Chains A and B, each alone.
Chain A
Amino acid sequence: MEFTKPHIEYAQLWPVLVVFGVACIGVLVEAFLPRERRYVTQVGLAVLGLVVALGGTIGVGVHLDALKGGARGLIGAEGALAVDGPSVYLWGLVLICAIGGVLLFAERRVEGGVTVFAGQAAALPGTTAEREASTRGLEHTEVYPLVLFAVGGMMLFPAANDLIMLFVALEVLSLPLYLLCGLARRRRLLSQEAALKYFLLGAFSSAFFLYGLALVYGYAGTMEFAGIAAAVQGGASNHSLLLIGVGMMSVGLFFKVGAVPFHAWTPDVYQGAPTAVTAFMSAATKIAAFGAFLRLFYVAFGADRWSWLPMMWAVAILTMVVGAVLAVVQTDVKRMLAYSSIAHTGFLLTGMLGVQSAGDLGKGEISSLEAVLFYLTTYGLAIVGAFAVVSLVRDSGGETGRFGAWAGLGRRAPLTAGVFAFFLLSMAGIPLTAGFIGKWAVFSVALSAGAWPVVVVAIASSIVAVFFYVRFILLMFFTDAEPQGAAAVTAASPLTTGVIAVTAVATLVLGVVPGPVLDLVQHAGSFIR
């Protein structure tokens, strides 16, 4: 048997390879560098790697070749990866969120000189080993290579152009996240419980995904999206095989994006994980997973959309309603944000319903893909910023999300509370914030595709969502502080404040002049087929 060397398009794929490469170097640093020098080295390496990858992504994006049919780019790595406009845009988005995430990981001032990660994860909570680790001021610097591996997976996920790559990318992005969730320095049991829950449910949903993948392969006889699309278009035999396959694959993807009824992990994990990790993963995972979701369903299963659209309708409606309604009864900030992020998944799915063939779109009308990409941008920025603020609000026992502790924060720290309120308003979709433009975009594409019942539900759940966001602003600004246990804002290093400032400014700019980013999204074109 002859072995031919696979052809890899290094010129287009190098940003991904840089991320993985730096992650591997990070592992070596752990092994060979003395402990006291690891923090600076790892943080520097991670940030440098991500920035270089971001620069590379921009470079790749600029030089993508335009193709027929509104797409640009190429299919590389022997058909396994599609480097097209949407992929590159999502790479950029994931990298930006990752840079923000790493900067939050590196924050040491709020926790009194150490990072928010456990001193020694292997030490059981409450043991002498743990106390010893904490008195010696140990830190886990493995988190930086871990996050880089996750970022690499997140870049592969939306670019995956065949089923195997899709699954591999899913696992590569998930496994480091499971670990990161369990590494909180405080409330370790809660954190470990979150990690275990996330891992078990994630593994379970991966199994569904894999089973569905096998069924789809059985139907189409090929792993490549283009081949599957051809089989679907040709109406190959045994349609039920395809339907079951699509259904099971969606279970896996619905789990990743946190759609009802596969959302149950979200609040527990968002609450238990270190807030910096929550900030990173709530944004980046959703961005990557929606990218993959869109490519799989638009490119591979697009021709059969009348079969899967009803399912999407139902899930979108359920997700918005459940997310918004359950968020109302939360009494913890992180859980409220978790349920609100479920509701946002519903809004994103609403945008996904807006899929139409290019011929049905009016001249200059925005497409469903553009709307979802823009929404992901606005959501990612706001949620990273919001969790970054959450990480600063602390009482004597460390970070606190209890509503009572946040009461009257607007009087004690008007600037921080004001910025948080601004993020909430963006998530609520109030005009002059990025969230409004995003919401407008996804609703309009759904309405244009005739999904008006979903849009009606979306409007109704937006009203519910507005209620809990506004009530929280009320709590911060117009409620008197509790006599005991009121939280205060801890002074943070420029790492966290920088992240908050940049995301807040970006949220404002995208709300007032969204034109350039919308043009960019439009310029990214459609998926390569």
Chain B
Amino acid sequence: MTLTILCALPLVGALVTALTPVGGGRPKQIALAFALLTLVEGIIVAIRFNTGDSGFQLTEDVTWIKAFGAHYALGVDGLGLLMVLLTVALVPIVLVAAWRDTNRSSFFAWALALEGFALVVFTATDVLLFYVVFEATLIPAYFLIGAHGSIRGGSAGRSWAALKFLMYQLGGGLVLLAGVIALYVESAKSSSGPSYLITDLQKLDLSTDVERWIFVAFFVAFMVKAPLFPLHTWLADTTEMASPGTSVLLVCILDKIGTFGMLRFCLGLFPDASQWATPVVITLALISIVYGAFLAIGQDDLLRLVGLTSLSHFGFITLGIFAFTTQGGSGAILYMVNHGVATAGLFLAVGFLLRRHGTVLISELRGQERATPVLAGIFLVAGLATLGLPGLSQFVSEILVLISAFDYHWWVGAVAVTGIVLAAVYVLWAYQRVFTGPGGDASIAPGEIPAVRDLDRREIGVLAPLVVGLLLFGFVPGPLLDLANPTISSLMKHAGVSDNAPVVAGGK
């Protein structure tokens, strides 16, 4: 029941928040309380989790639709647990960050609904259940983008972005539906009758062609979600128009479903087809890394810039996954967590900038370092994490992925490394233009109170846990690796690859 409670808490919270009247009812406080309760429940799940075991734990299994062989089946492995923890940690942060942005309770209700569905996505061990919630997450996301955009931009641009987002996602979802249905057809041929449980599907003996087609359907859907070149074009438009809090939910949590699905389903259910597709996937990942970085360099809008850096990072994650080594896989899982933390920091910092200036166009901002030193500092830390500075969390995962890339082929590694160089360009150049140099409050005479105020306590409180996370996971990646390794090892065993898992030296 632990996992059911975990997933139900935010959904109930969403309902309660939506039904609470704004005047006097304190919907925000209620929403935050539910988010914190979910965080506590997530920690309970983590405590009960046994790191040594590679299978699903805390499992629940109830027959849901007998005719379809579908089960309400939940369970977590290391990968699932990391994603759950990322989700439950980020949502309260987002809620507090958006505290002053809106008075409408619907933002908080939709955010909680999104959290609830996302948690089911990460804990589902039944493909149909996964599919159902995979699609269901889009409805809250759609309303978050469409109704609660960032404070600039008209409703026309926002609704266009929401439509574009939803069309991409639902299109990918329908392609996935074809794959899900094909799985049913195949599993109905087996002697035990149709079943959608992952454990049953892994035993299925698929013919090569069928396995490849189903793999393609799954992969295309995850490619839209993650996103990867060439299905990434919704990303920047969405992050530009959505409020920064929404962007955190979308990019740091929801997009992880894409890479999560690649690991869980593409590698887990179709290992042979995954290996067959590796050259194409790695090419796409490399294009995403380099192209995403170049796009980010060229942006004038910070929100678009941060969105596009994610394209580059998702390229890295996919590269790690499809390098088919334990190092690459574990690196990719670590990357998913660290990217979530670092990008959340960037988005929220940019969001605070936006609240102060009403714009985040790089060309209109200069010298903000002097007016808002704390904000600048936090932006810099998150940015340095994004570019993979040693000592900050992303470095560990990036190095693991790069090692596996060089193992795969030297030129793959060589191309991937340029992504890091370009990351330095987009982060530092943006920082230089926005925060340093003359301008800012230079016009204000000494002694006068600057018009733009630095971060207040709430805002620092929001960003502090993220910065702590960046530093902590940079120096002590061991616990994360302990969770990621068993999952990856069993996946690699399933795929017939044997090598050694990465360990932190001198730990014990």
Contacts and interface: CB of A to CB of B under 8 A. Distances in A.
Interface residues of A, number: 40
A440 B68 contact: yes
Interface stretch (A179-187, A235-243, A245-253, A441-449): A441-449
Contacts of A432: 132, 136
A466 B171 contact: yes
Nearest to B160: A474
A3 to B, nearest CB: 49
B177 A440 contact: yes
Interface string A413-444: 00000000000010010111000110110011
Interface in B108-140: 131-136, 138-139
A513 B184 CA distance: 18
A366 B163 contact: no
Give the most central of A431, A443, A477, A514: most B CB within 10 Å. Answer: A431
Contacts of A447: 178, 181-182, 185
Contacts, number: 111
A463 B67 contact: no
B65 interface: yes
Interface in B365-392: none
Q: Main SS of chain A's interface residues?
A: helix
A444 B181 contact: yes
A456 B189 contact: no
Interface in B171-194: 171, 174-175, 177-178, 180-182, 184-185, 188-194
A364 B194 contact: yes
B135 A444 contact: no
A362 B174 contact: no
B159 interface: yes
A109 to B, nearest CB: 27
A518 B65 CA distance: 8
Given A440-B177, A444-B185, A478 B159 contact: yes
B264 interface: no
Nearest to B138: A430
Interface in A161-187: none
B146 A478 contact: yes
A455 B178 CA distance: 8
- Interface range for B: 35 or more
Contacts of A439: 177
B69 interface: yes
Contacts of B184: 444
A365 B69 CA distance: 9
A474 B161 CA distance: 11
B193 A363 contact: yes
Interface in B62-79: 64-69
B162 A443 contact: no
Contacts of B69: 364
A471 interface: yes
Contacts of B180: 440
Interface of B: 64-69, 131-136, 138-139, 142-143, 146-147, 155, 158-159, 162-163, 166-167, 170-171, 174-175, 177-178, 180-182, 184-185, 188-194
18 contacts: A363-B191, A366-B68, A430-B139, A436-B135, A437-B65, A439-B177, A443-B177, A443-B178, A447-B182, A462-B174, A463-B174, A474-B146, A480-B155, A515-B65, A518-B65, A518-B66, A518-B68, A519-B67
